[in-house]
């Protein structure tokens, strides 16, 4: 127990040190089996939590990460998450998919619809066993909508990493998968915003208030903030040099935007993502080097705190026999939705079975984006600890399967359609 604020600061800093050390030890080991850093860092959190370290005498997880210090760790992690969501929003450029918009939209919509439908059906079956969180009742509609949305997610950054490692960035498979994931993420965030309104609202009047507030805020970002950002960037960019003052100004904008959406009634992650969408796309290379790269370095340092604190909340020992059966059902439904939706749409668009299968496998990648949504579900009061544990394990399994299941044979290169520029340094957080 922390005796005072000074003790709490010291315990929080010590927790960060343990987290960074554990992550740095596991990441190179998991890289040998072609797994992205997110897998290693979630596993580190699970190993340091009740699932393994907690089985030993002495409450070691409690000694390493006291309850009071975990709040500080979560606050640190939230900074990394907001900057990461800003980078994800900034990376989205739907103009790049115009040459293949019909195929991309069919793959993305099919993957979302099938995943959402299968996930919602499973959630309706699971609800009666997970309808209470900390003593309050979870409505079936909120639960079903949330699980369906969580099943629909594709993790754009992890997918980009896998595409790079398989050298697919200039192939039809890589271009279509990445573009479809970008559309998928935008649509999924929109659905989640609606779910969060339903979950947080006590009546139809509050729903209308949140929806109207959200629309007004988006209009302000598009009509006022975006032009101001463009003018600010032009003013602070001279002779291919960006003023160092621009970095803290944009960071402040990200945090203010997160605060604004929180006050509206949505999670702060929506504000950070929306602020990234509002960022001007002109002079991208210069802005990326002077603004994007520093943010990516900060997220690389802070995101392990988020991953491992997420893993600390996972308690595999509490699942029991029924929980294990539910976990198997969740993993099976998650894989079915993306594989059937992505593969089927790609095949109907005229692609061969191997390419179609690869797209379905890539769309099944969840990673960090899924974890952000699951933590939002905990904050909304939609997920109990057991359901959270199962969903985190599902994200872990589907992400781990993506790389090994993609065939390593050569693919046809893009046939001249617009390609999505992809370089390792452009990946937000590289998770």
pLDDT, tens digit, 9 for 90 and up, residues 26-51: 888 888 877 777 788 788 888 888 87
Q: Which residues is 413 bridged to in the sheet?
A: 171
Q: What's the pLDDT score for residue 141?
A: 86
Nearest to 194 by CA among 132, 136, 152: 152
Evaluate if residue 182 carries a pLDDT over 60. Answer: yes
Residue with the larger pLDDT of the pair 162 and 121: 121
103-112, 189-198, 286-295: range with lowest mean pLDDT: 189-198
Q: How many domains does the chain have?
A: 1
Q: Which residues is 361 bridged to in the sheet?
A: none
**418 in a domain, yes or no?**
no
Question: Residues of 385-413 as b/e, b for ≥16 C-beta within 10 angstroms?
Answer: ebbbbbbbbbbbbbbbebbeebeeeebee
Q: What's the pLDDT score for residue 190?
A: 78
* Backbone conformation region of residue 174, classed left if phi is above 0, alpha if psi is from -120 to 50, else beta: alpha
Q: What is the mean pLDDT of the chain?
A: 81
Mean pLDDT on 199-211: 64
**430 in a domain, yes or no?**
no
**330 in a domain, yes or no?**
yes
79-93, 158-172, 255-269, 351-365: range with lowest mean pLDDT: 158-172
- The CATH number given to whatever domain includes residue 230 is 1.20.1530.20
d(CA 149, CA 133): 19
Q: Which residues is 260 bridged to in the sheet?
A: none
**425 in a domain, yes or no?**
no
Residue 153 per-residue DSSP state: -
Which secondary-structure segment (H or E) carries 391? helix 385-405
Q: Considering the chain, what percentage of its residues have pLDDT values greater than 90?
A: 17
**69 in a domain, yes or no?**
yes
Evaluate if residue 375 carries a pLDDT over 70. Answer: yes
Q: Considering the chain, what percentage of its residues have pLDDT values greater than 70?
A: 87
Asked if 261 contacts 214 with a C-beta cutoff of 8 angstroms, the reply is: yes
Nearest to 273 by CA among 160, 382, 147, 376: 376
**199 in a domain, yes or no?**
yes
Question: Residues of 21-41 as b/e, b for ≥16 C-beta within 10 angstroms?
Answer: ebbeebbeebeeeebbbbbbb
Evaluate if residue 426 carries a pLDDT over 50. Answer: no
Number of Cβ atoms within 10 Å of the Cβ of 350: 9
Mean pLDDT on 183-210: 71
d(CA 423, CA 159): 13
**402 in a domain, yes or no?**
yes
pLDDT, tens digit, 9 for 90 and up, residues 272-321: 888 988 888 766 677 877 888 888 888 888 888 887 778 778 888 888 88
290, 291, 296, 297: CA torsion to nearest 10? 60
206 falls in which pLDDT band (50, 70, 90)? low
d(CA 90, CA 275): 8
Q: What's the pLDDT score for residue 121?
A: 95
Tokens 């949505």: give the residue. Answer: 266
Residue with the larger pLDDT of the pair 118 and 425: 118
Q: How far apart, in Å, are the Cα atoms of 266 and each of 24, 116, 181, 254, 388?
A: 34, 21, 23, 15, 20
Residue-range definition of the domain harbouring residue 49: 5-412
**312 in a domain, yes or no?**
yes
pLDDT, tens digit, 9 for 90 and up, residues 51-81: 788 778 777 887 888 877 888 888 888 898 8
172-186, 209-223, 304-318, 409-423: range with lowest mean pLDDT: 409-423
Evaluate if residue 106 carries a pLDDT over 50. Answer: yes
Mean pLDDT on 363-383: 84
Q: What's the pLDDT score for residue 239?
A: 73
335 falls in which pLDDT band (50, 70, 90)? very high
Mean pLDDT on 327-335: 94
88-92, 93-97, 241-245, 342-346: range with lowest mean pLDDT: 93-97
């Amino acid at each position: 127990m922390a005796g005072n604020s000074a003790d709490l600061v010291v315990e929080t800093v010590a927790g960060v040190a343990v987290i960074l050390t554990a992550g740095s030890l596991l990441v190179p080991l998991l890289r040998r089996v072609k797994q992205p850093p997110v897998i290693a860092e979630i596993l580190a959190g699970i190993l340091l939590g009740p699932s393994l370290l907690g089985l030993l005498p002495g409450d070691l997880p409690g000694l390493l990460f006291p309850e009071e210090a975990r709040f500080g760790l979560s606050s640190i992690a939230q900074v990394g998450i907001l900057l990461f969501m800003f980078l994800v929003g900034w990376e989205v450029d739907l103009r790049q998919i115009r040459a293949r918009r019909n195929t991309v939209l069919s793959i993305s919509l099919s993957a979302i619809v099938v995943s959402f439908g299968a996930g919602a059906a499973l959630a309706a079956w699971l609800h009666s066993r997970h309808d209470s969180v900390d003593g309050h009742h979870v409505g079936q509609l909120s639960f079903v909508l949330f699980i369906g949305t969580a099943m629909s997610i594709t993790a754009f950054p992890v997918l980009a990493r896998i595409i790079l490692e398989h050298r697919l960035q200039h192939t039809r498979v890589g271009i279509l998968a990445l573009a479809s994931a970008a559309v998928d993420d935008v649509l999924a965030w929109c659905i989640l915003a609606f779910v969060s309104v339903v979950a947080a609202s006590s009546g139809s009047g509050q729903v209308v208030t949140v929806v109207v507030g959200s629309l007004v805020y988006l209009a302000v970002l598009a009509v006022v903030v975006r032009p101001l950002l463009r003018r600010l960037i032009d003013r602070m960019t001279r002779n291919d040099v960006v003023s160092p003052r621009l970095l803290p100004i944009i960071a402040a904008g990200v945090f203010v935007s997160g605060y604004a959406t929180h006050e509206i009634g949505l999670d702060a992650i929506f504000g950070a993502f929306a602020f990234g969408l509002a960022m001007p796309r002109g002079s991208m290379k210069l802005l990326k080097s002077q603004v994007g790269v520093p943010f990516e370095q900060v997220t690389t340092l802070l995101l392990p705190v988020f991953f491992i604190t997420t893993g600390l909340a996972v308690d595999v020992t509490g699942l029991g026999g029924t929980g294990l059966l539910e976990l198997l059902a969740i993993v099976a439904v998650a894989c079915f939705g993306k594989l059937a939706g992505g593969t089927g749409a790609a095949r109907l668009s005229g692609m061969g079975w191997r390419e179609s299968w690869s797209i379905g496998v890539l769309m099944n990648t969840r990673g960090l984006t899924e974890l952000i949504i699951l933590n939002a579900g905990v904050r909304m009061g939609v997920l109990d600890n057991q359901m959270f544990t199962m969903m985190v394990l599902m994200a872990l399994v589907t992400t781990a399967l993506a790389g090994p299941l993609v065939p390593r044979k050569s693919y046809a290169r893009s046939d001249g359609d617009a390609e999505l520029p992809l370089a390792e340094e452009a990946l937000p957080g590289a998770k």
